C-alpha cells in the first residue's frame, strides 16, 4: 500500500492553529488572568497601599496605588503567559503577549468596582479571550501583517476601555 506524504508549503500565507491549541491557549489565558488578578489584589493591599498611604499627607500618592498594582500584576502575569505560550509553541508568542498586555492594561481599574469573585471571573475570561485572539492574530507568516493586526486590535481595545 502506498504511503501518502503531506507537504506543507514554506510560503503559506497563514500558520495553522489547531482547535486543541486554541483550547489550551484559552485555558492558559484563564490561569494567567486568575494569577494576574490575585497579584493585583496582593500588590494593592499588602505592598503599595501600606507603603504609599502611610501618612495622612500622602493622599496624592495613595491615588496611584491601583494603577501601580495593576501595572505590576500585568507585567508579571505577562511573563507567566509568555512561558505558557512558548511551552505550547504558539507562533510569535512575544508579539501575542505584548498585544494582550497593551489591550488589557487598565482592566483591573474598571473591574475594581465589582465584587471580587465576579471581577476575578470576568478578568480571567477577558484574559482567556485575549490570549486566543492575539495568538490567532500573530499567525500570518508575514511579520508586517502580524504587527499591523496586533496594533490595530490593541488600539481598538484601548479605545473600548477608555
CA 108 to chain CA mean position, Å: 12
What are the mean pLDDT values of the chain's consecutive 10-residue runs (162 residues total)? Answer: 62 68 93 95 85 68 81 94 90 92 90 92 95 91 89 92 82
> What are the domain boundaries of the chain?
19-161
Look at the block and give the residue holding cell 490570549: 131
- Residue 157 cell numbers, joined: 481595545
Q: What is the pLDDT of residue 52?
A: 72
**Cβ contacts of residue 74 below 8 Å, gap of 6+?**
36, 101, 104, 105, 108
Going by C-alpha positions, the residue among 117, 108, 118 that lies closest to residue 77 is: 108
Terminal Cα-to-Cα distance of the chain (whole angstroms): 62
SS3 call for 27:
helix
Task: State the residue for C-alpha cell 486566543.
Answer: 132
- pTM assigned to the model: 0.84
Q: Which of 119, 46, 41 is nearest to 76 (CA)?
A: 41
Provide the CA 3 distance to its chain's centre, in angstroms: 43
pLDDT at 5: 65
* pLDDT at residue 1 in the model: 63
pLDDT at residue number 12 = 53
Rg of the chain on CA atoms, in Å: 19
Report the distance separating Cα 132 and Cα 88, nearest Å. Answer: 12
Using CA of residue 10, residue 141, residue 24, residue 79, what is the dihedral sign?
Answer: positive
Amino acid at each position: 500500500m502506498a504511503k501518502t506524504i503531506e507537504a506543507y508549503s514554506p510560503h503559506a500565507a497563514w500558520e495553522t492553529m489547531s482547535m486543541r491549541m486554541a483550547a489550551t491557549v484559552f485555558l492558559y489565558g484563564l490561569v494567567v488572568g486568575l494569577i494576574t488578578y490575585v497579584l493585583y489584589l496582593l500588590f494593592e493591599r499588602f505592598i503599595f497601599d501600606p507603603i504609599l498611604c502611610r501618612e495622612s499627607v500622602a493622599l496624592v500618592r495613595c491615588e496611584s496605588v491601583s494603577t501601580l498594582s495593576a501595572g505590576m500584576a500585568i507585567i508579571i502575569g505577562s511573563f507567566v503567559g509568555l512561558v505558557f505560550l512558548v511551552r505550547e509553541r504558539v507562533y510569535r508568542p512575544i508579539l501575542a503577549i505584548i498585544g494582550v498586555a497593551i489591550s488589557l492594561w487598565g482592566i483591573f481599574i474598571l473591574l475594581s468596582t465589582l465584587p471580587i469573585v465576579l471581577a476575578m471571573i470576568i478578568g480571567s475570561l477577558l484574559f482567556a479571550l485575549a490570549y486566543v485572539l492575539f495568538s490567532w492574530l500573530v499567525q500570518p507568516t508575514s511579520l508586517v501583517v502580524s504587527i499591523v493586526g496586533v496594533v490595530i486590535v490593541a488600539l481598538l481595545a484601548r479605545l473600548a476601555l477608555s
